[in-house]
Structure 1
């Protein structure tokens, strides 16, 4: 069986990285964390979440790829370092089983870790662990006297629970903290600090846990084979927390601690403040005021091998239930907004009966902005949902998006159509006044380029009737002006060319362009007559005057040089607009 291989001491060195069957030091943990990260780069991440009172890094290790998170920690208390062995062994064995697609105690590791990420802080108290295991030699000489004093004068630190400054880290949390009692000054155990959350390790852990927002927290301690879980929960929370406590009890064989916890501990804080499930598991039979002997590790592991997986599985269920509820609430909220979004139709279609109704009312713009912002907020909310819970809100949002899109299509078409009409009016004014120059040509060319863009925007408007009105108001006048003005623009450009050709003494080219000019004049008159348009007398007078002056100058220069024609190539005689 798989269990016979994975969870005995016979595992090969090539299979696993962590050896939990030895005194597990801070240095060993750091080395193994690096090896695990390198061995499973797509599955494991590592963070330094702060530093201990003596400057040792506090490590957090994540395992898994899921959006749901749960949290497991060990070694709040120095002499309870075997809980770090349990944490690190979980990381190692779970990662291995994930890559091999193996099960642990019937738990599908890959499925669970695909849905849920498990965050571990394997050693909350590295200073205390190091002191308990190695004694004063691991600390600066300046600290030795204080450490001995906190230890009752003894240099034997095997009973040490506190951090390096004599603060009991599991009495630091601000739940009934002031009523805990215990030591009145820094000590090897039971001093809860000068204030809640005053220890460096506590501050770092609280900030980290708040940032990852886990669904469930497991805090490992030793010893006694007990589970603490009850801290003032009521109603459905009590029922759910108790159900999982019983499941942990069945799995480990540990007894549920009767009555409520006294407070001050991490699990108490998590349950009370985060209002989520939290369990303190005391591993191994009672060992007294020292560490659990290593001979117990094998049985401890058998009891706890699947605790992390049960926790991750339950965390995933809680997360899914909450996200399903959020999805349903979002869907309901979106549908309730449909009536507001539908009001946009009045502005982009319902009341648009004549070209005079092609306007952007302030009320329309304001309502569009509100609907657009609401759609954006709902879309942002959907991104926070797992993909499997997005489909119904997405479908529900279709109505609001439809009216938003139709509304902005109307707004854009009217805005650009009004600009096109304004440009047309300006251009018409130029011709009415006989103002025909390079600036007029540039304006005309930009005007012509704008027409297709406005045509595209009109095509996106909703409703055939609205499109027809927009075409009548914007496109038909613009197309007529474009076709009408091209004759004046073309003749003006021919005049500019002929003036250049005269200077270059290209008389034949001038003659050809004079003929082309006359042809365009006839076509212009015919076009205007067919459309019921009147010629622009000022422009016609200006063009005729310039054309006559060119013809006169041509005659004069030809008379002076009747048999000469420059040899250089003639200036271009065709006009870009009439090509």
Structure 2
């Protein structure tokens, strides 16, 4: 919500007026001066401005009382310090606190839905930082979202496999809840979120494989539909499709025993398990690898479905604290923890091999992919503890 700064007001005053942490106001406005001048536009995170009609007999005073709003916030939004000058108006602007999640969880979560949610989140919580880390085969931007200013850098990515698109809506729901709790000084499961903003920088890539996700949900409406249908063995049903649009499995693309995984996987492009002709040949996998090298994360989680299991460790190259972390993840979620599996060339494998830091693959839910949306609430509640532990550990 944008307001116009009045003569004599301070950033601290606006922080107190709307009950929003001062640091979030500063970061929402890229303000390093901690000062403002009259006439400047100022973003107040966590609010939207709504126009309402005044009923007969209503006044600024009665609206403030009925809606539990600070009277001066109404003066501010309506360009006056005089209540009597407003009570004859037919319309009034009021601040509305955004407190509920609006991320779509009742329909398949495609690329357009993700972008719509990112636009809305960044409008309401302008202290989010976003970056395009690369582009898919079809040129769709792959977005990274960052929250926080802390020295500890943790990362989560989702929807690397096309028919696991539910993971994108799960992590976006957590992001929405986290932003709301930070802004409005709320707790999540009894934990105060405010300290994490200064302690942790959270990086999220919610949809690594946007082309594949749209293919899995909408079918072959791409330009070269004939080719991708051939890769799908002639079928127009892409619900089981895991790969990117070229038929290459992005989680078999990382240079961590890639040759061994290549021998065990499919020999040609298709819906799943083909690792390509060489590691990091696909722009989506390369973008994620480049981001990881550049940001030097302290810990990463790759979200997949299904199995309610957390995979950790890779050929003994994970640090000792990985076991402690995964045990806490398991405790707060009820998920099983499994150290080594005969599967290689995944993002988590490469991260542990390359950086010798804790990495985890989180398999949400149970059943067959794509998991039904009727599982969303249960999946979110079980995984929420892991996302929180990712911040506090």
TM over 0.5: yes
Q: 1:352-398 CA deviation, whole Å, 9 max, x = no partner? A: xxxxxxxxxxxxxxxxxxxxxxxxxxxxxxxxxxxxxxxxxxxxxxx
Which residue is equivalent to 1:73?
157
Q: 1:96-121 CA deviation, whole Å, 9 max, x = no partner? A: 00112222123321111221011000
In 1, the alpha carbon distance for the partners of 2:357 and 2:105 equals 30
Which residue is equivalent to 1:229?
312
Q: 1:502-533 CA deviation, whole Å, 9 max, x = no partner? A: xxxxxxxxxxxxxxxxxxxxxxxxxxxxxxxx
CA contact (8 A) 2:309 2:363 kept: yes
Give 1:275's match in structure 2, choosing from 356, 369, 387.
356
CA contact (8 A) 1:228 1:261 kept: no
Please tell me whether residue 301 in structure 1 is matched to residue 380 in structure 2.
Answer: yes
Give 1:152's match in structure 2, choosing from 230, 233, 245.
233
Structure 2 gap ranges (5+)? 1-96
- Give the deviation of 1:60 after TM superposition: 0.4
Pick the structure with greater CA Rg: 1
Which residue is equivalent to 1:23?
108
Which residue is equivalent to 1:123?
207
CA contact (8 A) 2:133 2:144 kept: yes
In 2, the alpha carbon distance for the partners of 1:212 and 1:192 equals 25
In 1, the alpha carbon distance for the partners of 2:364 and 2:342 equals 17
**Distance of aligned partners of 1:261 and 1:119 in 2 relative to their CA distance in 1, 3 Å threshold:** farther
- Give the deviation of 1:306 after TM superposition: 3.1
- Note the 1:212-227 alignment, pairs <5 A: 212-227=295-310
CA contact (8 A) 1:270 1:278 kept: yes
RMSD, aligned α-carbons: 1.5
Q: Report SS of the residue matched to 2:219.
A: helix
- Note the 1:71-110 alignment, pairs <5 A: 71-110=155-194
- Note the 1:529-568 alignment, pairs <5 A: none
Q: Report SS of the residue matched to 2:220.
A: helix
- Note the 1:515-534 alignment, pairs <5 A: none
Q: Report SS of the residue matched to 1:153.
A: coil
In 2, the alpha carbon distance for the partners of 1:111 and 1:210 equals 27
Please tell me whether residue 32 in structure 1 is matched to residue 117 in structure 2.
Answer: yes
In 2, the alpha carbon distance for the partners of 1:17 and 1:217 equals 26
In 2, the alpha carbon distance for the partners of 1:215 and 1:204 equals 18
Task: Give the TM-score, by structure 1 length.
Answer: 0.50
In 2, the alpha carbon distance for the partners of 1:145 and 1:25 equals 22
Q: 1:16-61 CA deviation, whole Å, 9 max, x = no partner? A: 331323211110101111111111112x111111100111110000
Q: Report SS of the residue matched to 1:85.
A: helix
- Give the deviation of 1:260 after TM superposition: 4.0
Q: Report SS of the residue matched to 2:167.
A: helix
Give 2:134's match in structure 1, choosing from 15, 29, 50.
50
- Give the deviation of 1:14 after TM superposition: 5.8
Give 1:211's match in structure 2, choosing from 294, 298, 303.
294
CA contact (8 A) 1:261 1:268 kept: no
Give 2:242's match in structure 1, choosing from 161, 165, 178.
161
**Distance of aligned partners of 1:249 and 1:129 in 2 relative to their CA distance in 1, 3 Å threshold:** same
- Give the deviation of 1:182 after TM superposition: 1.1
- Give the deviation of 1:258 after TM superposition: 4.9
Structure 1 gap ranges (5+)? 1-11, 315-579
In 2, the alpha carbon distance for the partners of 1:107 and 1:266 equals 30
CA contact (8 A) 2:258 2:344 kept: yes
CA contact (8 A) 2:129 2:146 kept: yes
- Note the 1:388-537 alignment, pairs <5 A: none
Give 1:266's match in structure 2, choosing from 336, 347, 361.
347
Q: Report SS of the residue matched to 2:320.
A: helix
Q: Report SS of the residue matched to 1:59.
A: strand
Task: Give the TM-score, by structure 2 length.
Answer: 0.73
Q: Report SS of the residue matched to 1:18.
A: coil
Which residue is equivalent to 1:506?
none
Which residue is equivalent to 2:257?
176
In 2, the alpha carbon distance for the partners of 1:63 and 1:19 equals 21
